[in-house]
Every structure is written in structure tokens, then in C-alpha cells.
Amino acid sequence: MTKGAIGHAIRQTKPFKTTSQEAVLGLFIVRDRLRRRFTAIADMHGLTPQQYNVLRILRGAGDEGLPTLTIAERMVEQTPGITRLIDRLEAKGLVHRERCPEDRRLVRCHITRGGLQLLKKLDAPVEEIDKEGLGMLSKTDQRQLVKLLERIIQGFD
């Protein structure tokens, strides 16, 4: 039996072909476990993870709001259906859109008071997931993990 938590998690009985294969599978496993916990909380509030991401992006944008395509570029998970995603949030009263008076082709999205209130309810449970997800690591280990992840992300750019 393969030693280590990654092999154990997927019931791997043979050694991994490469260390990079083992590391990538480890990232996938961690992502899945964190996502399942997060999705359960978002579901309780009638949101998908992508909708939550849009609300967080718009909260960060402040009163200025953001154009639809800028929101799409800032998403953690790229989604081809950003317009439909915003349509659903608008139907729930969590965002509103307005055409730019100077350029009618540009549509800016803004988070509503209801959207802000919903995010406020979700802040503590989401922070708890963050702590739970990395709580077994020291602050030093967490900083090292961030540095390693940044190097990986930069490698794709």
C-alpha cells in the first residue's frame, strides 16, 4: 500500500509515477474537500459557489461596481455563463445592473444591500472553513504554502 495521506485518500495501492502526479492529485483532493464544505454553506443560503464569488468581487469593488467582463476575469473558477450567473443574482435581488451613460454598451454591476447582508451572514462560516481547512498547519507553513501556490500560479501566466 502507498504510504501517505494522498495515496490513502484515493486508495492507491501502487506508488505514484511521479512526485508531480502525487502533488497534483493532492491539490485536487484538498480542493474537493474544501469545496464540498463551502458548497454546503452556500447552499443553505441559496447560492452556488460561483454566485458567492461574484458577490465577493462586487463587495470588493465598492460603489463603483464592475463591468460584467471584469467580473468574469476575476472569478476564481472561470465560467462562460457570466451573464446568466448575474441574471440569477439580479433575480434574487442581490445585484443590480446599470448601463454606463457615456458608453451604452458597458453594463456595470453593483451589489445590493441584500447582497451585502447575505455576505455578512456568510463571512463567519466561510472564515471557519478557511481555518478548518488549514488549521493543521502553522502560520509559517501557511505562508510557505501561499508562496508555493503563488509560484505555481505564476508558472501558468
* Residues with Cβ within 8 Å of residue 93, at least 6 apart in sequence: 112, 114, 115
pTM above 0.85, yes or no: yes
Question: Which regions of the chain are under pLDDT 50?
Answer: 1-2
CATH code for the domain in which residue 126 is found: 1.10.10.10
Q: What pLDDT score does 105 carry?
A: 79
Domain count, the chain: 2
Domain that holds residue 40: 1-44
pLDDT confidence of residue 35 = 94
Q: How far apart are CA 133 and CA 129, in angstroms?
A: 6
pLDDT, tens digit, 9 for 90 and up, residues 2-14 = 468 888 888 888 8
Whether residue 129 is found in the same domain as residue 95: yes
pLDDT tens-digit map of 111-122: 999 999 999 999
